[in-house]
Structure 1
Amino acid sequence: MASNIDAARAKIAEQVKIDILSKDPVKDNELKCKEIGRTFISDTITVPTKEMYQYAVLSTLGDDVYHEPSTAALEAHLAQLLGKEAALFVASGTASNQIALRSHLKQPPHSVLCDHRAHIYKYEAGGVGFHSQAAVTPVIPANGHHLTLSDVEANTIISSDVHFAPTEVIALENTLNGTIIPQDEVIAISDFAHSNNIKMHLDGARLWHVAAETGVSLKELSDPFDSVSVCFSKGLGAPIGSCLVGSKELIKKARWFRKLFGGGMRQTGVLAGCAAYALSHNFPLLPRVHELTRKLETGLEKIGAEITSRAETCMVFYDPSPIGVDYGEIADRASLLPEPLFLGGSRLVVHIQTTEQAIDDFLSLVAQLAEEKKKAGFVPQPVEKKTGRYHDVYVRRPPKQA
Structure 2
Amino acid sequence: MLAAIASTTLGDDVFLEDPTTNALQSWIADLTGKAAALLVMSGTMGNQVAIRAHLTAPPHAVLCDHRAHILRAEAGGVASLCGAQVEGVFPANGAHLTLEDVQQHAVLGDDIHGCPTRLVELENTLGGNVMPLAEMRRIGAWCRENGIITHLDGARLWEAVAAGHGTLREYCECVDSVQLCFSKGLGAPMGSIIVGTDEFVKRSRWIRKSIGGGIRMAGVVSAAARTAVEEQFFGGRLQKTHVLARRLADKWVSLGGKLNVPTETNMVWLDVKASGVSAQDITRLAAERNIKTFATRIVVHYQISELAMQGMEEVMEIVMKDKKAALNGAGAA
Q: TM-score, normalised on structure 2?
A: 0.95
Q: Work out the number of aligned pairs and report it.
A: 327
Instruction: Indicate which of 324, 330, 334 corresponds to 2:286.
Output: 334
Q: Secondary structure at the match of 1:308?
A: coil
Question: How much does 1:357 deviate?
Answer: 2.4
Instruction: Indicate which of 229, 248, 253 corresponds to 1:296.
Output: 248
In structure 2, what is the equivalent of residue 61 of structure 1? 10
Change beyond 3 A, Cα 1:197–1:285: same
Counterparts of 1:1-400 in structure 2, within 5 Å, are 52-66=1-15, 67-214=17-164, 216-283=166-233, 284-336=236-288, 339-378=289-328
Q: How far, CA to CA, are the matches of 2:262 and 2:275 in structure 1?
A: 18
Contact 2:249 2:263 in 1 (8 A): yes
Q: Secondary structure at the match of 1:197?
A: coil
Change beyond 3 A, Cα 1:279–1:379: farther
Q: How far, CA to CA, are the matches of 2:224 and 2:274 in structure 1?
A: 43
Counterpart residue type for residue 5 of structure 2: A
Deviations 1:55-96 (CA, angstroms, capped at 9, x unpaired)? 222211101101211100000001111001100000000000
Question: How much does 1:322 deviate?
Answer: 4.6
Contact 1:173 1:202 in 2 (8 A): yes
Where does the alignment leave 5 or more consecutive residues of structure 2 unmatched?
none
Which moves more between the two structures, 88-97 or 324-333? 324-333
Query: RMSD of the alignment, in Å?
Result: 1.4
Question: How much does 1:334 deviate?
Answer: 2.5
Contact 1:56 1:277 in 2 (8 A): no
Q: Secondary structure at the match of 2:187?
A: coil
Where does the alignment leave 5 or more consecutive residues of structure 1 unmatched?
1-51, 381-402
Q: Which has the greater radius of gyration?
A: 1
Q: How far, CA to CA, are the matches of 1:243 and 1:316 in structure 2?
A: 26
Q: How far, CA to CA, are the matches of 2:230 and 2:19 in structure 1?
A: 18
Question: How much does 1:257 deviate?
Answer: 0.1
Q: How far, CA to CA, are the matches of 1:363 and 1:187 in structure 2?
A: 39
Runs of 4+ with >6 A deviation: none
Counterpart residue type for residue 132 of structure 1: C
